[in-house]
Structure 1
Amino acid sequence: MLTVDTAGIIEQANEAARLLLAGAAASVPLARVAPAWLSRAHHDVCAGRRVDQRARGPVGGPVFEAHPVHAGRDRVTWWLVDVDDHQQVVEELRAEREWTAFMVEASVELLSSLNLERCLEATARLAARRLADAALVVMPLDPRRYAIVSCDPRGEVSREHASVDPRTLPGLVEALQGFPPAPTRWVEPAEAPGWVLRDLGGEVGSVAVTALPGHGLATGALVLLRRTPRAGFSDAEKVFAPLFTAWAGAAISVARLYAEQAAIAETLMAELLPPTAPPLEGVELAARYRPAGDSERVGGDFYDVHPVGGSGRESLVVLGDVSGKGLEAAVLTGRIRNILRALVPLADDHHRVLELLNGALLANGDPTSFVTLVLASIERRARQLVVRLTSAGHPPPLILRNDGRVEPVHAVGTLIGLMEHITSVTESVLLEPGETCLLYSDGIVEARGGPLGDEFFGEERLCEQLRQCAGMPPEALADRVQMLACQWVGAGEHDDMAVVAITAPREPSHRAPP
C-alpha cells in the first residue's frame, strides 16, 4: 500500500510496498521508486483524466494491478495486487471448466448410444479433439483382424477392418490384454508402423498407447498422435484422460455386448418368424401373419409349409396357435415347430403325428404349454386338389366353393399338450379349380370390436364375408380376411392372427395358339 500526494511524493508505504519497491519511503518521489506505468496512472488520477482508475503493469517480473482510493483532496492511496497468481487461478478455473464441459460432452456422446460403430467413432473423434491431434481406436475382432477407427486433425473419421500385427506398435499388445492394467506408454514416432502414422504423416512428434478398459478386461486400445514432441500428459490430462478412457471403454464394452446379444437374438428370431411360403407344384398358396402387439414380430400363432410330407405324394401345411402371448409363446412356438418338422416323414398318419407331439409336450411337465392346430395334407390329382384335414382343438377349416358356398370341415379333435390320450378326426375334401381351403387361427374369429367395441367377429360373419370372395386368388383372399378382422378390431387390442389360403389353380380360359 502506498499513499502519495498530488505532487507525486510518497507520504506512507507499508512493509509490503517497501519490499516490492526498493527505496519506497515517506518524502521519496513516486517516480524514483515506482515503474513508469504507476507514476503515469497517479498523475492521470490526480488530474481527473482516468475513467477506469485501475492500472496494470509489471513490477520487476510479476504483473500487478493498482487500485486507487482517494484519501482526501490531496492524496491517493494505491493498493497493489499481484495478478499473476490471480490470473493463474483464473486460467486453471477456465481449463477445468473446459475439461468438465468436454467430459459432459463425452458422457453424452458415449453413454447415450448402444450402437458400437457410433461409440468407436465418438471415442476417436473426442480423443483427437482434446487429447491429441489425431487418434485411433483399435478393437480386436478375432485373433488376426481388428476394427480400426481413426480421426484425423480435420475431424474426419474413417473405419476399416484390417489384419495388423499389434506387436509392431510397442505397448499395443499390453494395452489390448487389459490385465494386469498397463499404464499409458509413450512411443517414439520412428517405432510406430505406417498404419498408425498415416493420419499425420511426417508431422508426428509423439505417440501414446493407452488401454480402453471395459468391465475388467480391455475393450480395445486408444492410440494418440501429437505433433508436439513432448511425451507425457499435462497435470490436467493426468486427471481427465483416465476418466475419458474408462468411460469410452465402458461404453464400447456395453455397446459390443449389446451388438453380440442383438445378433444372437436376431438369429433366434429368424427361427421363430413365420416362414415365406415356398411354392408348391400344382398348388396356389398364400399365408399371412400379424402378431398381437404392433411392436412385436413373433407370437403364439404359426404356420409351416412342407413341400414333401409322409411318403412324398403329399405336401403338408400346418397352422397352429400355442398358449400364451409374446416371447414366451414364441419360444413354445419354436419348440413345437421343431418337433413337427421332425415328424413330417410321418405325415401320412395325422393322428400319429398329433400323438407324438402330445407326448413331447406332456413330457415337458408344464400344464400351461398346449397348442391347437390343423394339419392339411395336399395331393394334386389332375385338375383337382385332395386335401386331408385334421383339427386338434382348432377352429374348423372353411372351404370356399366357386358358387360362393362356404363349407366348414368338421375334422374335430382334442387340443394337444393337456391330456394323455387325444382324439382326432381326419376328413378329406376335394377342391375344384379356383376353390379354396382356408385355415385360420382364433385371432380372426375372436377379434373383439365392431360398432359397440365388445363383439366377436365370429365364424358366421367370416363365412358371410367369404361368400363374396368366390374365385378370389389366395393372396387377395388371405389379405381380405386379415383386413376384415383388423377393421373389426379398430384401435383395440387383438390376438395373434394367422391365415393360410390353399387354392386349386384355375385352368386358363383359353389356350394360346400352337
Structure 2
Amino acid sequence: MSVSRGSSARPPDVDPRVGATWTEAPCPVLVVDRYGGLVRINGAARALLPDAECGDRLHERVPSWLWGAHQRMGEGPHDGSLGTATGRINGRFVEAHPTPVGEGEVVWWLIDETDRRLAETALSNARLRSEILSEVSSALLSTLNVPRCTEVAASMAAEHLAEAAVLVAPPQGRRHPLTYARRGGPVTQVTRQVDVSGVPGLAEALQGFPPVPARWIDPGAIPDWVIPDGFSGAVGSVIVTPLPGHGVPAGALILLRSSTEQVFTEGEEVFARLFAARAGAALSAARLYTEQATVTATLMQELLPPRLTGVHGVEYAGGYRAAKDHERVGGDFYDVHPGADPSQETLVVLGDVAGKGLDAAVLTGKIRNTLHALLPLAGNHQRVLDLLNGALLTSRHTRFATLVLASVRRRGGQVRLRLTSAGHLPPLITRADGTVEEVATQGTLVGALPTVKARTVETVLSPGETCLLYTDGITEARGGPLGDELFGEHRLRRAFGESAGIPAEAVVERVQMLVSGWLGTGRHDDMAAVAISAPATGALTLVGGHAEAGGHTGGPGSRRIT
C-alpha cells in the first residue's frame, strides 16, 4: 500500500505487516513506498526530522545520501543486499539500515552513531597523543646534552603541536637562549636580549606560573623576535606554556599557528601542557646532569693521580687503575712533591686507603691535602706520619690507610732515597745487573692506632737503577689460566728484574701490561705503582738553567742537551 502526497486520510501508526515494534523503537524509523513517499514515521524519526510528515516525498525531507541509497534499493533486489548508508542528518551522524517488507516498500532504520563516532575519535586522539608523548619521552631522555635536548623538544613541538615553536630558556644574565623550529624546517639556536613582557604570560611562564588561556593572547600583538625565519603568513593562534623542572622552571614554550590553520582548541592546550611537562622534566634532568658533571670534573682534578715526569734529574713515572673500569678514582693514590731546587728533597707518597670507589677517593683526597700541608716537615717522615695519623683519628671517616714515603735527592750521578713504610708493602729496587732487592722498611697503619711506628731506611740508586712503589692490588690481582691464582710478589719481582736499565715510564707500563694480561676480564682491586729511576749516564739535562748529568727529565722548563 502507498499513500500519495495529496491524500487527506492519515494511515494509522501501526502497520500490521511490520508490527508495533518499529513504532516503539528508540531509533528513528521511516517506512518508504516504492514511489519514494513516506508511509510511516515513528516518534524518534519525528524528533530527528521535525518537518517530515506521512505522505511527504522522501527526497524533500532527507539528505541526498539517504535518498540516493533508497533509489539504489529500488534498482536492485529487494533483499537488503545493497547494505547500509551513512551520512549526516541535522548535524547528527547516522547509519541507515534498509529492510524490504514487500510491495516495494522499505523500512529504514536510522541509527544515531554521533556519540560513538565522537568517542572513537576521542579514543583515537588519546592514543595518538599517548604515542606522541611516549615518542617525545624516548627522544628527550635519550640525551643528557642540554643543547641537543632543547633542539629535540622544539623540533617535536613544531612537528606535533603547531606550525612553529620557540623554546625560551631561563635567562643567562640579561640574555635568553632561544631555540626556533618550524615544521619541516631547520632548528636554530641563538642567545639574545629580548623583552619577554611583550608576550602575554611569557614572563609568568618563565617563573613557573600556570599558562594563560590561548584565547587571551592577541596573535597580532606578538613581537617579531618570537616569529621564526620562514614562518609563512600572519600569526593566527598562540599558546604560551611553562616548562616545569625539578624545583626550578626549565623555561617556556611558545607555539604558533598561522591564520590559515585551525586555532588551538582547548584539548590541544591541555595536550601542549602535557608535552611541556615531559620536555621540562627532560631539560631539567639534562641541566642537572651537566651541572653535576661540571662539579664532578672540577673535583676530579683534585682526586685523579697526577701525571709524573722527571724532576731535578730524577725520572718518575706512575700508573693507576681503579677497581672498576668505569670509575676513574679509588682508594689508591700517589703524589710527587718536588723540592724548590735540586738541593732539596722531592717527597714521593704512595698509599692505599681501605675500601674502594668514591668514598675511598674522598678520604684519599683528604690524606693528599694533609700531606701537602705537611711538606715543610717532610724531612722527618715520623713527624709527618704522626700528624697525619692524628688528623685521621679525629676525622669522621673510620677507614685507615697504608703509606710509603720516599724522599729523593740527586747527588752527582746517584739518587739518594729515604724510604719509610707505614703498614705498606716494602718498596723494591732493581739494580743494574737485574738483581731485585726488597727495602727493609716497615711500620704500622695510619689512622687506626693512637701512634704510628715506622722504620726509615736510606739507600742509593746508581745510574740505570729503579725503585718501585706499588699497592697490593698488583700482587693480589687474581687471574691466570684458571682465573683464581694471584699474580704474586714472585712474578712482580721477575718482571721488575727483567726491566733493569729501562726508563721509569717503561717499567710502569711493563708492570701494568703484565698484570692486565694476568687478570683477563676478572675482578681486581685498585692498582697503583710509582717508579723512581736514576737515569743512565750519557746525556745532560738542563734544569732551572743548570746542566746536570742524566737522562731527559721531561719536566716543565727542562730540555735535553745532546
Q: TM-score, normalised by structure 2?
A: 0.81
**How far apart are 1:68 and its partner, in Å?**
1.0
- Is the 1:219–1:249 contact (alpha carbons within 8 Å) kept by the matching residues of 2? yes
- Deviation per CA, 1:260-309: give whole Å up to 9, x if none: 22222222222211111144131222111011112221111101111226
**Counterpart of 1:48 in structure 2: which amino acid?**
G
The more displaced of 325-334 and 208-217 is: 208-217
SS at match of 1:218: coil
**Percent pairwise identity:** 50
**How far apart are 1:360 and its partner, in Å?**
0.9
Establish whether residue 45 from structure 1 lines up as the match of residue 76 from structure 2. no
- Is the 1:311–1:348 contact (alpha carbons within 8 Å) kept by the matching residues of 2? no
- Relative to 1, partners in 2 of residues 1:138 and 1:216: Cα closer, same or farther, differing over 3 Å? same
SS at match of 1:302: strand
- Relative to 1, partners in 2 of residues 1:399 and 1:138: Cα closer, same or farther, differing over 3 Å? same
**How far apart are 1:432 and its partner, in Å?**
1.7
The more displaced of 78-87 and 276-285 is: 78-87
Return the alpha-carbon distance in structure 2 between the equivalents of residues 101 and 404 of structure 1. 70
**Counterpart of 1:44 in structure 2: which amino acid?**
R
**Counterpart of 2:283 in structure 1: which amino acid?**
I
Aligned to 1:320: 351
**Counterpart of 2:336 in structure 1: which amino acid?**
V
SS at match of 2:249: strand
- Relative to 1, partners in 2 of residues 1:312 and 1:219: Cα closer, same or farther, differing over 3 Å? farther
**How far apart are 1:168 and its partner, in Å?**
4.9
- Is the 1:170–1:191 contact (alpha carbons within 8 Å) kept by the matching residues of 2? no
- Deviation per CA, 1:396-446: give whole Å up to 9, x if none: 111111111111111222221122222222222222221111111111122
**Counterpart of 1:359 in structure 2: which amino acid?**
G
Given the alignment, which residue of 1, 20, 42 partners 1:14?
42
Given the alignment, which residue of 500, 512, 515 partners 1:482?
512
Establish whether residue 450 from structure 1 lines up as the match of residue 462 from structure 2. no
Return the alpha-carbon distance in structure 1 between the equivalents of residues 313 and 436 of structure 2. 23
Establish whether residue 210 from structure 1 lines up as the match of residue 241 from structure 2. yes
Return the alpha-carbon distance in structure 1 between the equivalents of residues 177 and 355 of structure 2. 43
Aligned to 1:97: 127
The 5 Å alignment of 1:397-476 reads 397-476=427-506
- Is the 1:134–1:199 contact (alpha carbons within 8 Å) kept by the matching residues of 2? no
Aligned to 1:295: 326
**How far apart are 1:355 and its partner, in Å?**
1.4
Return the alpha-carbon distance in structure 2 between the equivalents of residues 266 and 386 of structure 1. 37
**How far apart are 1:174 and its partner, in Å?**
2.2
- Relative to 1, partners in 2 of residues 1:110 and 1:419: Cα closer, same or farther, differing over 3 Å? same
Given the alignment, which residue of 122, 130, 133 partners 2:163?
133
Return the alpha-carbon distance in structure 1 between the equivalents of residues 341 and 503 of structure 2. 28
Return the alpha-carbon distance in structure 2 between the equivalents of residues 392 and 352 of structure 1. 12
Aligned to 1:388: 418
SS at match of 2:448: coil
Return the alpha-carbon distance in structure 1 between the equivalents of residues 391 and 88 of structure 2. 93
- Is the 1:309–1:345 contact (alpha carbons within 8 Å) kept by the matching residues of 2? no
Return the alpha-carbon distance in structure 2 between the equivalents of residues 90 and 454 of structure 1. 65
Aligned to 1:241: 272
Aligned to 1:271: 302
Return the alpha-carbon distance in structure 2 between the equivalents of residues 23 and 251 of structure 1. 60
Aligned to 1:353: 384
In the alignment, structure 2 segments of 5+ residues that lack a partner are 1-28, 541-548, 550-559
Q: How much is the aligned-residue C-alpha RMSD, in angstroms?
A: 3.3
- Is the 1:370–1:417 contact (alpha carbons within 8 Å) kept by the matching residues of 2? yes
- Relative to 1, partners in 2 of residues 1:96 and 1:304: Cα closer, same or farther, differing over 3 Å? same
**How far apart are 1:63 and its partner, in Å?**
6.3
Aligned to 1:378: 408
- Relative to 1, partners in 2 of residues 1:359 and 1:5: Cα closer, same or farther, differing over 3 Å? same
Establish whether residue 4 from structure 1 lines up as the match of residue 35 from structure 2. no
The more displaced of 211-220 and 133-142 is: 211-220
The more displaced of 212-221 and 435-444 is: 212-221
- Relative to 1, partners in 2 of residues 1:237 and 1:190: Cα closer, same or farther, differing over 3 Å? closer
The more displaced of 72-81 and 498-507 is: 72-81
Establish whether residue 78 from structure 1 lines up as the match of residue 102 from structure 2. no
- Relative to 1, partners in 2 of residues 1:385 and 1:37: Cα closer, same or farther, differing over 3 Å? closer
SS at match of 2:339: strand
- Relative to 1, partners in 2 of residues 1:240 and 1:6: Cα closer, same or farther, differing over 3 Å? same
**How far apart are 1:187 and its partner, in Å?**
4.6
- Is the 1:300–1:326 contact (alpha carbons within 8 Å) kept by the matching residues of 2? yes
SS at match of 2:451: coil
- Deviation per CA, 1:364-400: give whole Å up to 9, x if none: 265x421111111221222221122111111111111
Establish whether residue 183 from structure 1 lines up as the match of residue 212 from structure 2. yes
- Is the 2:342–2:410 contact (alpha carbons within 8 Å) kept by the matching residues of 1? no
- Is the 1:136–1:223 contact (alpha carbons within 8 Å) kept by the matching residues of 2? yes
- Relative to 1, partners in 2 of residues 1:36 and 1:460: Cα closer, same or farther, differing over 3 Å? closer
Given the alignment, which residue of 364, 379, 395 partners 1:364?
395
Return the alpha-carbon distance in structure 2 between the equivalents of residues 189 and 36 of structure 1. 41
**How far apart are 1:497 and its partner, in Å?**
0.7
Establish whether residue 106 from structure 1 lines up as the match of residue 140 from structure 2. no
Return the alpha-carbon distance in structure 2 between the equivalents of residues 447 and 21 of structure 1. 93
- Is the 1:144–1:165 contact (alpha carbons within 8 Å) kept by the matching residues of 2? no
Aligned to 1:157: 187
Return the alpha-carbon distance in structure 2 between the equivalents of residues 152 and 191 of structure 1. 20
Establish whether residue 120 from structure 1 lines up as the match of residue 150 from structure 2. yes
- Is the 1:176–1:220 contact (alpha carbons within 8 Å) kept by the matching residues of 2? yes
**How far apart are 1:57 and its partner, in Å?**
5.5
- Relative to 1, partners in 2 of residues 1:168 and 1:306: Cα closer, same or farther, differing over 3 Å? farther
- Deviation per CA, 1:466-511: give whole Å up to 9, x if none: 2222212222211111222233333322111111111111223899
SS at match of 2:464: coil
SS at match of 1:506: coil
Return the alpha-carbon distance in structure 2 between the equivalents of residues 310 and 513 of structure 1. 20
- Is the 2:41–2:53 contact (alpha carbons within 8 Å) kept by the matching residues of 1? yes
**Counterpart of 2:255 in structure 1: which amino acid?**
L
